[in-house]
Structure 1
């Protein structure tokens, strides 16, 4: 099951994406905002990809690899996943440096939140970012998320937020009515 947005193709993560995730997760600049101990050695990358693949198998949704519509090379990832041993569904995303700053993170996040509410019928979606990562905090806020201290899975030093389906749909409808 693939999704698309105006500039991106979303395809479920597959075995073939190990090489891309290895490059992504071993790059200190790309991983400096992740809330865990990165960059990753190869064993951690394989474990990371294994977990993404297992999530798809278990739940039928998960993390997508992002490609620009006019290209075939991965430019990032975006997904919705259950946080282990919790009731939370977490929005996750990351982009390679050459495509950052073009609004693609917001576009990907918005498409996935829409998919989560309309396609998966999720009641609430959560997100987390390091407070210093203003770009990521802005993406979470622009998709309608508001601070939510209940989402404490990654430690108290993060900006944590959520949005419920009704609030998101009201905001989308208001944006459509206003022509935004």
Structure 2
């Protein structure tokens, strides 16, 4: 399955037309504040990222979906599943993640998209556990994680940048309950 429709969103594979709007999202300091070292990403870095995301689909059978608003066809950002290779202690778990442009914040899109990604992971891909990794202090992401029913599992430190992270987790029995 490479497309999922929710009441307001289409989660789908990446298209050429997605590059510029995703680069705009990645170029926003407000969006990138909690991502990696906090630096913005340009068009070239975004193109490389989309290529990696598509490769993960081919290699793992899951990846990051482009998130499109059904009503307008606008690209809101991404959600989906990835291997958290930047944090070896979280491996081999699969992580659910998201990144949306600020104009799409506060409307429940992140929760709706991530929920659909979790259902895809647990029901269609047969995964029995998911994690999500958030920087401590990123209250908006913590709120989404609570809505998704993910529980804090442990705190750790980013191996490259040294800031505190919190790993959240959920298993299939908790998700279906």
**So what's the TM-score if we normalise by structure 1?**
0.85
Shift of residue 152 of structure 1?
A: 6.7
Residue 145 of structure 2 is aligned to residue 140 of structure 1:
yes
Question: In the alignment, which residue of structure 1 is the partner of 2:7?
Answer: 6
Counterparts of 1:11-30 in structure 2, within 5 Å, are 11-30=12-31
Shift of residue 93 of structure 1?
A: 0.3
- Is the contact between residue 156 and residue 166 of structure 2 (CA under 8 Å) also seen in structure 1? no
Distance in 1 (alpha carbons) for counterparts of 2:150 and 2:142: 9
SS at match of 1:36: coil
Distance in 1 (alpha carbons) for counterparts of 2:103 and 2:175: 30
Distance in 2 (alpha carbons) for counterparts of 1:125 and 1:15: 29
Shift of residue 142 of structure 1?
A: 1.5
Question: In the alignment, which residue of structure 2 is the partner of 1:162?
Answer: 169
- Is the contact between residue 93 and residue 105 of structure 1 (CA under 8 Å) also seen in structure 2? yes
Q: Which consecutive unaligned segments of at least 5 residues does structure 1 have?
A: 171-180
Which has a greater percent of strand? 2
Residue 93 of structure 2 is aligned to residue 88 of structure 1:
yes
SS at match of 1:70: coil
How many residues are aligned here? 170
Question: In the alignment, which residue of structure 2 is the partner of 1:107?
Answer: 112
- Is the contact between residue 27 and residue 39 of structure 1 (CA under 8 Å) also seen in structure 2? yes
- Is the contact between residue 22 and residue 75 of structure 2 (CA under 8 Å) also seen in structure 1? no
Question: In the alignment, which residue of structure 2 is the partner of 1:72?
Answer: 73
Distance in 1 (alpha carbons) for counterparts of 2:74 and 2:8: 13
